[in-house]
Amino acid sequence: MTQTLAASSVLPSQQTGRVGALSAVIFLVLALVPFGAAFGPESYVLGLFTRVMVFAVAALALDFICGYGGLVSFGHAAFVGIGAYAVGILGAHGITETLVSLPAAMLTSAIFAYLTGTVCLRTKSVYFIMITLAFGQMAYFIAGSLALYGGDDGLTVRLRSTLLGFPILQNDRAFYYFVLFSLFVVYFVFRVIVYSRFGRVFRGARENPTRMATLGFDVFRFQRVGYVISGAVGGLSGFLLANATEFVSPAYMSWQRSGELIIMILLGGLGTLHGAIIGAAAYLLIEEALSGITEQWKLIFGPLLVLIVLFARGGLLGLADRIRGKLGRD
60 versus 201: smaller Cβ distance to another protein: 201
125 versus 294: smaller Cβ distance to another protein: 125
The least CB distance from residue 15 to another protein, in Å, is 13
d(CA 219, CA 201): 8
Instruction: Pinpoint the alpha helices (H) of 38-124.
Output: 42-63, 77-92, 98-120
How many residues would you count in the chain?
330
The least CB distance from residue 115 to another protein, in Å, is 20
The least CB distance from residue 1 to another protein, in Å, is 17
d(CA 68, CA 3): 12
Instruction: Name the DSSP class of 74.
Output: S
32 versus 215: smaller Cβ distance to another protein: 215
Instruction: Name the DSSP class of 137.
Output: H
153 versus 218: smaller Cβ distance to another protein: 218
The least CB distance from residue 22 to another protein, in Å, is 19
9 versus 116: smaller Cβ distance to another protein: 9
Q: Is 315 left (phi over 0), alpha (psi -120 to 50) or beta?
A: left
**Which one, of 74, 72, 25, 77, lies nearest residue 55 by Cα?**
77
214 versus 256: smaller Cβ distance to another protein: 214
Q: How far is CA 98 from CA 170, 235, 250, in A?
A: 12, 13, 22
What angle in degrees, to the nearest 10, is found between the helix axes of 77-92 and 98-120?
140
Q: Which residues bind another protein (CB under 8 A)?
A: 9, 11-13, 192-193, 195-201, 203-204, 207-208, 210-219, 222, 225
- The type of residue at 10 is V
114 versus 195: smaller Cβ distance to another protein: 195
Number of helices (H), then strands (E), belonging to the chain: the values are: 14, 2
Asked whether 110 and 228 are in contact (CB, 8 A), the reply is yes
